[in-house]
Structure formats: C-alpha cells, structure tokens
Structure 1
Amino acid sequence: MNDARNNFDIDSLRVASEHGDCDASVRLGQLLLQRGGFGSSEFDEAITRLEQAAGMDHTEAQLLLANVLAQVHALPDADARAAHWYDAVAQKNHPEALARLGDMYLTGRGVAADDAQALARIERAARQCYPQLQCDLAYMLDHGIGCNADPVAATSWFLRALAQGSHQAAFALGLRYYCGRGVGRDAAVAQAMFECAAGGDFPDACVWRDRLDEITSSNEKCDAGLLAQRIRDQVRSLPHQFAAAGISELDSGESATQKMTAVIERHWSALDDRRISLDPGHRSARAKATGWPVIAAPGLPQLEIWQPRVFRIPHFLSEYERAHVIALSAPRMAAAADFSRDAAEFEKDFFTGTAARLGAHMCDPVIRNIERRIAVAAMLPARHIEPLSVLRYQDDDVYEAHVDYLTPDRLEGAHGGQRLVTFICYLRAPREGGETEYLNAEHAVAGEPGLALLHYNCLPDGQPDEMSLHASRPVIAGEKWLLRTAIHSQSLYEPIAAARDAT
C-alpha cells in the first residue's frame, strides 16, 4: 500500500516539477534519493530535478543539491558543483551554507584551500547567534586556523554560546578557567561550568566536575554552586526576553540578528559577574599561555613494535576534542550489522559493538583539524584519509582478529586504492580489558585517553603485511571509545575515472 502511494506521489510530483513547481522538484528529489544511491537512475533523476529548481534560485533546492554533491566524491566535478551551490546560498547569508562552504575551504574541495576564507565564512554564520557555529569559530580562533591564535577572543565566543545554553561551550569554558587559557584561572568558575555541562550530559563533564570537587575549598564550592544556578536561570529565561523584544524563531536577516545579539548581551550582563563577562576587557587579565587540556600536545610518533610497524603518540587529542567527538557521534551509534555503504562494511562479521561514521555533513573545524594532525603523523596527504568513525565497546564487546588492508578481491576497483595505514585513538579507555592486540607479534597495547596508535597495513614495498593481524580484547570493566580511520594510497576525493587513470 505504501509503495503504491509513493509511486502515486512520485508521478504527481513529476508532473508538477515539469511545470516548474520548485517545491515539487525538491520533494521529488528527496523521494528519489531515498530510493536509490549514486549510480542509480533514481539518483540521476533526483540531481536533474534539484538542478532545475536550484537554477530558479530556490534556496532549499540549492542547499539540498549541494549537500548531496558534497557526499558523492566519485561523481565528476561534484565538489566544484557543491561549492557553487553552497556559495549561491551563502550569498543569502544562510548559516548552514556558510558553514559548509567554510568546510570546503578547509579541505580544498571544490575551491582552493584557504583557512582565512573558511574562518570568514564560519564567523559570518556564528554572528547570526548559532551556538554550535560560535563554538566552531572559538575553536578556530584558539588554534590559529585562518588567523593568529587568539585564546582571549575564543573565550568570548564560547561565552556567547554559553549565554544561549550550549553545554559544549560550558565544557570548553570549564577547561579554560581550570587551566587559564584565554582567561584568568578560577577553580570556582571552572567547577560551575562543568556543573552546567553535566546538566546537559555532555561527555566527561561529570568527571571534571567531580575532579575539581576534590581540590576546591568549601568557599569555592559554594561560589561554584551559586554561579551554576544563576547561569542556568539566565539561560532558561532567555526565550522570554526574546518574546518581550518581539523576536520569534522564524525571524531572520541582519535586523533580526542585531536584535537577538543585543538581547543576549543585555540579558547576560545582568549576571553582573566580571569573571564571565562577554567583554574581554572586563574579565581577569591573569590569563596564562598554557594549552593542555584545551590544546592537544602530541609528540613525535614513538616506535611500539617493529613487526608489524606500530607507533604510539600520547596526548594526540585534547580533552575538549575527545569529548566533542563523543558528543558528535553518540546520537548516531548503530550496531555494525546495521551499517550500509560503509568503507569497512566487512567489519560487521568481526565487531560486536556499535559505531558511527562521521560523514561530510557532520565534519566541522575540530574534525578537519584532527584529520590534518593524522596526515602529519602518517606522512600522507589528508585527502587520502577515510571519513573518521567512532567505535564503542561495552561489556564483553570485541573486535575479532582481522586485517585492515584490502585483499585482492576487495582492492580491485576500490576507490582510493590500498589502505596503507590504520589510525586509532582512545577517546575513552576501559578500566580493565579492551587492549589492542597484535596477534602474530604476541604484543598488546593497553589504552589510555588520548593515546593514538598508527600501524602500517603494508610493507615498505606496498605488499600487504600479514603481521598486521590484530584484534581488540574483550572489555571487562568500563567502556572503550575509539576514533578510527585508514589512510589510503590515493586520494578519496577524486572521481573514479580519474583515480583509475592515475594508477
């Protein structure tokens, strides 16, 4: 019955689309994309219908078309076409399009790589009062992506996101007030921030809140509790302030943004606490240059074992980055058996836990910066890196013995060529069990938060290394969260025909 109804809908939408109905073209495109992926007749028709509406300056069609093209790297000129349509929507000051175009500037896909251009696009989006984009901007400012590093400005943007209720920003600020990054050190404010983040179940916020509870004085604990409650009350009452100012969720445009910004600033200033002022001139000037745990501090790769070639890199991810990746992936976790069109679909036969793949539409400046760091460690281009994925192991979950290189039957026609290197990083380490074991070498590596492992799947001559057989031992206590990817011999962002011509 549903199939018949869908067929009727598609036929009706085709007629409307052919008569120039842009809304019908968008809905038809959505239905066709649900029916078939890249290479199918449904996909080809969906692209045609969306291009028809996009050419008539239909914003929703332009954005959907760009989102689809940005995820189909095998399609000739897909990246350039995606960038074109993102730019068309970004010129209307659309925040999502600005952010996605910024991502393309970060990766050099469809446009020339340019961190300054990426920063400019993301700042334009952040200024429209979107907390997540404000956190993205703060991260870029903190790490000097597209600019000179400016920890003080980064703190201000995190505070703006917090003023709108961002638990991610609260966690970031907890770390910053704890170590004095872009603001004076203040244990009470740090604990208050972690309390706010914990209220939204942000990863690891409870751990840090409890850690500070053990080292703060009774006066600091009291100060932290009161401040956290005042912040929560202020955030809860913000919608009433918007309503009183005549601002609704549907309002957009420069005038609406200016009104929202003014309301947020005025409402936050009513807290009358210089320590968390949006104006950096009012905050403590006792800021330090320290980075950890806000900024990652990876050293050079250290040899773990020689056969197979395995290297370890401590402190590869910062506390903020690890928590961010967990928060990004947790809502999307699924059993390996449910994966489809995944680069490692075969792993459903080996892995008993859950996982999430961080596709192009989920990537932000944090993910892109991590990819760059991986590329440096592996000494291979970032464009050779598979989309990152996150694995979660709970009690008794295992990843049975397997190799990550592509066998000849899987290598033939594989986009990106051979998987030369595997990268994993512990986002969380279990209290017991869960070691990564290299079976032929009879060697196991116990995890610790932030520890990265690089192992080579191939020998220096490019042939598969059978010594790279590895597994994960069962988790006995706690949970194990891994960030995982593989680095290929060729770019994963080239059309299939071009990639084959290069071999």
Structure 2
Amino acid sequence: MADARAARAEQLAATGQVDAAITLLAEGAAAGEAEAAMLLAVWHLRGTPVARDLPRARALLRRAVEIGHVDAALMEVALTANGSGGAPDWPAALALLRTAARGDTVAAAQLALVEAMALDAGGAPLAPSPGVPLATTPRIVHFPGFLTAAECAHVAGVAGAMLEPARIVDPATGRWVAHPIRTSDAAAIGPVHEDLVVRAINARIAASSGTTIAQGEALTVLRYRPGQEYRPHFDTIQGTDNQRIATMLLYLNGGFAGGETHFPVPGVTVTPRGGDALLFFNTLPDGRPDPATRHAGLPVRSGAKWLATRWIRTRPLDLWNQIVDPG
C-alpha cells in the first residue's frame, strides 16, 4: 500500500492534480509510510511540483528516518551539516551519522572516513594543508597529498552515478547544449549529496585557500576520457557581481596519460597525481579577472582522468539557486 500510495501521488502530480497528490502523501506520512514522507520531502527540496520549502523537507525527512528510511537518514545528515533548512550543525550531523552507521554499511563507511580525518568540533581541519608555490603572478599553489586515496575514491563514487556530458545554457535560446570547450562528463555534488566526507573536504579547501566554506560552489567532478580536454579558458564569469576569485582542483586518480593542467603565461604545467590539489587565484587585487590565469586541461591520451573542481566566489552564495535536482 505504501509504495502504491507514492506511485499514485506521482501520477496525480503528472496530471496537474498537485493538491490531491500532496494530501495523499501527507496522509501516508502520518500513517507511518516512509516512502510517502520521503517523496514529499524530495518534492519540497526540488521545488517541484510544490514550492521549495527546506524546513518542511527536513521535517519530512525526520519522519521518514523515524519510520526507518535509510536514504532519508543519509540525506538528513548532509542537510544538517550544510545548514539547508536550518543552521549548519556538524556535531548534530555527526551524531546522526553515527546512529545511521549502526545499521547501514554505507553510513558506516562514511563514518570511518570522517573519523580518520584530523577535524575540530565543527568539522574543519585542525591545520591547513601545506602548499608549494608554483607561481606568484598569478598565484598558483600545489598541494601534494591533499586527499587520501580513500577520500579520492569516495568523491568519485558520490559523483559517478550522476555524470553526464558537460553542458552549458545557450544564451540565445536558453536551451542546454554541449559545452563548447569542455569535452568531459561532469556532475555537481549539491547540498543533498554533500555527505560528511565531502563536507569535510570542502572545509579543507576553504582553510587552504583562506576562504569560507560558504563561498564555494558545489564540488564538481569531471571525467576525461581519451581525446577529451578542456581547451584554454578563464574560470571567471563575465558580468557577475560575485566573481570566482579562486579555483581548487583535486586530482582524484592516476593511471592515465596526458591531462596536464597548463598555464601558458606563467609557463606552469602540472602533471596530475591522485590525491594532489592545485589552487590558483583568478582575479587581480582590484577584483578584475587576471588575464594570466588562462589555462587548459590538456587532452587525455589514454586511460581516464578524474578531477574535482571547487570554484570559490567573492561572497557566500546559495547553492539551492544553482542545484535544482536533489536526486
């Protein structure tokens, strides 16, 4: 009956009977049906077919967890840590993860990774990772061993099922089209998928770049296969009032040829090595884009290159205005 109620609600919503669908799911949640509570929570997260309401979604997730929905438990952990629908609360999120880990192997694996990290009570690193300067104009810093092999595998695994060919919105038509200069597969790890491992890594990026975690865009994972590349480009965004002031690249694997990160003006070329990271600052002291930051991801010759990118803005931004599908 529970799954049937959720399926019926989906049918009602698809035919425009949204109020009836909401009533049906609310009745199911009240009656102890985890799937009904979970589906209504996801709708409130997505903002379709109902208005986005993060606090309401959090309440519904709590209900689903109480009934025993494992996916709802992991989602609640992520949203508690990053403050979606409330204030960010790392200790509360960690407590929730420990509870979930008692009966779920996925949660247990995440907990093991988090507990292996040197973190303070708020989930931030106890000390920033040391970096090696490669250039001063623009400022480029290399971080050997920024991630462990297990952390790299986790980030790739979170994004793996969401990968799709890189796209961009055509400003003339408003339609999604193939990205003109990046021929990779990509996936953004938005707030719902930002588990505590990813959250802690984002905090590590913030500490090493001298920024706050709220300034970062969603961590985006890219996969380049043979022949794929990211042709010379700038990471800055034309016309924005909240510029991408810095970029952190996380190299997630080895075992491939090519794929170097190349900066023509300072003459810097970095060969990717799994676990290493590269930080560079995209703007001049007056805030204008720095023309010396033009760079490229050179073509992969063999194997597959996995990379995660965190673009960092001048000011905090609301990821819910960019990530519209909680999966």
Note the alpha carbon deviations across 1:76-126, whole angstroms, 9 max, x for none: 973323222212222324322222111122112222322232122223322
Offset at 1:317? 0.6
Residues 1:326 and 2:156 aligned together: yes
Aligned to 1:488: 313
Aligned to 1:316: 146
Query: Which sections of structure 2, spanning at least 5 residues, go unmatched?
Result: 171-175, 322-327
Aligned to 2:53: 78
Quick one: distance in 2 between partners of 1:459 and 1:430? 36
Residues 1:401 and 2:232 aligned together: yes
Quick one: distance in 2 between partners of 1:440 and 1:347? 28
Quick one: distance in 1 between partners of 2:112 and 2:9? 38
Note the alpha carbon deviations across 1:210-253, whole angstroms, 9 max, x for none: xxxxxxxxxxxxxxxxxxxxxxxxxxxxxxxxxxxxxxxxxxxx
Q: Which amino acid counterpart does residue 465 of structure 1 have in structure 2?
A: D
Quick one: distance in 1 between partners of 2:145 and 2:85? 33
Offset at 1:450? 1.2
User: Once superposed, which parts of structure 1, at least 4 consecutive aligned residues long, lie more than 4 Å away?
Assistant: 48-51, 144-149, 295-298
Note the alpha carbon deviations across 1:259-283, whole angstroms, 9 max, x for none: xxxxxxxxxxxxxxxxxxxxxxxxx
- Alpha carbons 2:84, 2:191 under 8 Å: kept: no
Note the alpha carbon deviations across 1:134-155, whole angstroms, 9 max, x for none: 2122223333769799xxxxxx
Offset at 1:71? 4.9
Residues 1:56 and 2:31 aligned together: no
- Alpha carbons 1:139, 1:365 under 8 Å: kept: no
- Alpha carbons 1:140, 1:146 under 8 Å: kept: no
Quick one: distance in 1 between partners of 2:129 and 2:235? 25
Quick one: distance in 2 between partners of 1:369 and 1:311? 20
- Alpha carbons 1:297, 1:317 under 8 Å: kept: no
Aligned to 1:95: 70
Q: 1:135 pairs with 94, 101, 109, which one?
A: 109
Offset at 1:482? 0.7
Residues 1:24 and 2:8 aligned together: yes
With the length of structure 1 as denominator, give the TM-score of the two structures.
Answer: 0.54
Greater percentage in helix:
1
Q: Which amino acid counterpart does residue 66 of structure 1 have in structure 2?
A: A
Quick one: distance in 2 between partners of 1:377 and 1:347? 33
Quick one: distance in 2 between partners of 1:440 and 1:147? 42
RMSD: 3.3
Q: How many residues align?
A: 305
Larger Rg: 1
Offset at 1:349? 0.6
Query: Which sections of structure 1, spanning at least 5 residues, go unmatched?
Result: 1-20, 33-41, 150-294, 497-503
Q: Which amino acid counterpart does residue 160 of structure 2 have in structure 1?
A: A
Residues 1:457 and 2:282 aligned together: yes
SS of the aligned residue for 1:56 comes to: helix
Residues 1:335 and 2:309 aligned together: no
Greater percentage in strand:
2
Q: Which amino acid counterpart does residue 67 of structure 1 have in structure 2?
A: V
Quick one: distance in 2 between partners of 1:94 and 1:492? 31
Aligned to 2:213: 382
Residues 1:350 and 2:181 aligned together: yes
Offset at 1:453? 0.9
Residues 1:438 and 2:269 aligned together: no
Note the alpha carbon deviations across 1:367-425, whole angstroms, 9 max, x for none: 111111111122222122222222122222211011111111xx27xxxx322211111
SS of the aligned residue for 1:392 comes to: strand
- Alpha carbons 2:10, 2:21 under 8 Å: kept: yes
**Could you say if the C-alpha distance between residues 397 and 122 of structure 1 is closer, same or farther in structure 2, counting changes exceeding 3 Å?**
same
SS of the aligned residue for 1:377 comes to: helix
Offset at 1:462? 1.7
Higher RCO (CA 8 Å, separation ≥ 6 residues): 2
SS of the aligned residue for 1:420 comes to: strand
**Could you say if the C-alpha distance between residues 369 and 393 of structure 1 is closer, same or farther in structure 2, counting changes exceeding 3 Å?**
same
- Alpha carbons 1:115, 1:145 under 8 Å: kept: no
Quick one: distance in 1 between partners of 2:299 and 2:256? 12
Quick one: distance in 2 between partners of 1:296 and 1:112? 22
**Could you say if the C-alpha distance between residues 28 and 361 of structure 1 is closer, same or farther in structure 2, counting changes exceeding 3 Å?**
farther
Offset at 1:348? 1.1
